[in-house]
Amino acid sequence: MAEFSTSIKDAGGVNVVYLKGYLDAHTAPVLENTFSNLIEKSKYSIVVNFKDLSYISSAGLGVFMAFIEKIRDNSGDIKLSSMSDKVFNIFDLLGFPLLYEIYKSEEEAVNKFSETKKLEN
């Protein structure tokens, strides 16, 4: 059975979600729970770090679509970072870069939240 887990770090008000392992139709509910828990706690500024994600299928991509509008409606966002070429190619093939900001590094993605806040103030 494929292993998948998430862990969360607070980076100055931005919640960084680390994905590890294999994200498919079997493990997608784990990520759904992670996003649901963040939303329950009104944590809407989210960076997802893909560094340790080995595999993603469309069931995993679907999880991002399920939560993004609710998060943006609450002035938040899900920004993506640190994808391998293999994982990025799948996102790219399906047109996700039009809907999501994807950054090379976690730091860049986290900093975008504070830049956006500065612009708003």
Pair of tokens at residue 44: 């809407």
Pair of tokens at residue 54: 């080995």
Q: Is residue 70 near another protein by the rule CB under 8 A?
A: yes
Q: Which of 62, 75, 105, 116 binds another protein (CB under 8 A)?
A: 62
**What span, in angstroms and rounded, lies between the C-alpha atoms of 64 and 79?**
10
Q: Which of 11, 20, 22, 107 binds another protein (CB under 8 A)?
A: 22
Backbone angles phi, psi at 25, to 5 degrees: -65, -25
Backbone angles phi, psi at 74, to 5 degrees: -105, 30
Q: Is residue 101 near another protein by the rule CB under 8 A?
A: no
Q: What residue ranges bind another protein (CB under 8 A)? A: 1-2, 22, 24-26, 55, 57-59, 61-62, 65-70, 86, 90, 93-96, 98-99
